[in-house]
Structure 1
Amino acid sequence: MTTTRAERTVRAQRTAGLVGHHYRVSDFYEVGREKIREFARSVQDPHPAHRSEAAAAGLGYDGLIAPLTFGSLVAMVAQQHLFDEIVTGYDPSEVLHTDQRLRFHRPIEVGDRLICDVVLDSFRQAAGSDILVTKTIMLDQHEAPVQTMWTTLVAYGR
C-alpha cells in the first residue's frame, strides 16, 4: 500500500501526539510447561531448567523457567494491539524491528499469568522514516514486574 506524502505527514503528526500514551492489554498470557519446552527447543537453549522440573527445583523454582527471550512472544501480541488499536495507519510490510532492549526483573515461570502495559515511549523522524520506540512492561498476576522491554521500530515511507 503506497501512501502519499500528505498521508504520511498526518500519520506522523498523529503518532507524535500519542507519545506517552499508555494502555493495558485486556487479556493475560498464561505460561505453560510445554510452551516453555517448545520455545527452548526453537531457540536452541539447552539449559536443563527449561526442560526438567527437577533441574528448575535445583535452582529454587517450583516449575520450569522460560528462556530469557520468552517474553518476546507475549510482547509481540501486546505491540500488535498497539498498532491495531492506537498507533494506526502503518503497513506491517513497511515496518522493520531494528532494536530490542530488555530488563529482567525475575524469570518467567510455568503458571505465570502475564499482563502487559504498553507505552509509545518516543517518536521521531529521520531520513523519511518514522522511528517509534515502544515500552512494554510485563507484570505477573500479582502486578509484580517480570520484564520491561523497549522495542525500536522503523516505518519506511513509500
Structure 2
Amino acid sequence: MALDQSFVGRTYPPTAPYEVGREKIREFAEAIGDDNPAYTDPEAAKAYGHPDVIAPPTFVFSITFRAAHRLVVEDPELGLDYSRVVHGDQKFTYARPVRAGDRLSVTCTIDSIKSLAGNDVLSVRGDVHDGSGELVVTAHTKLVARGAGAEQSTEA
C-alpha cells in the first residue's frame, strides 16, 4: 500500500535534548577507527579553533536516525511497515561541528514520498539545533519500503 502523500511537509515536534559528552565522542571515534586528536584531546581541538572536542561528521546519525524512527516510522497514521524498510541514503549538511557539551534536539520533517517500481521512498530531513536554537546540522535520510510483492531473500 502506497504511503499517504498528504504527509509530505509534515513536521514533528523536536526531540528531548541529547547531551553530547566527550566520552561518547571518544567512543564513537574509536569505533570508526578515526584517531583525529580533535575528537579526543581538548587542547588539540582548541588548536584547531574549537572550544572543546568535536565529533566526527557521522556522529549525529545515531540521534537523527533515532528521531526519524521514533517520530516518523512509528507514526501509525503514516502506515509505514518498518519490517520492509531498508536504509537508502544518508547525507549531512553542517553549519558547524558538533561539540562536547552541546544539547541537541532534532526536528524531523517528511520532505518527500515517492513510489518507484512498487516501493515507497521516504525522504526525512532532521534539523539538529543546539540549546540556544542554533542550527548545527541537517541530516537527510532516505528510507525505502519494499513493496508487498517484492521478493525476499532468505540466503545468508
Asked if Structure 1 and Structure 2 have the same fold, meaning a TM-score greater than 0.5 normalized by the shorter chain, the answer is yes
Structure 1 match to 2:124: 134
Alignment of 1:45-124 (within 5 A): 45-81=34-70, 82-85=72-75, 88-124=78-114
Range with bigger deviation, 90-99 or 29-38? 90-99
Q: Post-superposition shift, 1:87?
A: 5.7
* 2: CA distance, partners of 1:125 / 1:69: 28
Q: Does 1:36 align with 2:30?
A: no
Shift in alpha-carbon separation, 1:86–1:137, aligned structure 2, 3 A: farther
The TM-score, its normalising length taken from structure 1, stands at: 0.87
Structure 2 match to 1:5: none
Q: Post-superposition shift, 1:73?
A: 1.2
The number of residues matched between the two structures is 147
The residue type equivalent to 1:95 in the other structure is V
Q: Post-superposition shift, 1:26?
A: 3.5
Q: Post-superposition shift, 1:77?
A: 1.4
* RMSD between aligned residues: 1.4
Structure 2 match to 1:152: 142
Percent identity between the aligned chains? 37
* 1: CA distance, partners of 2:32 / 2:76: 31
Q: Post-superposition shift, 1:86?
A: 5.9
Structure 1 unaligned segments of length 5 or more: list them.
1-7
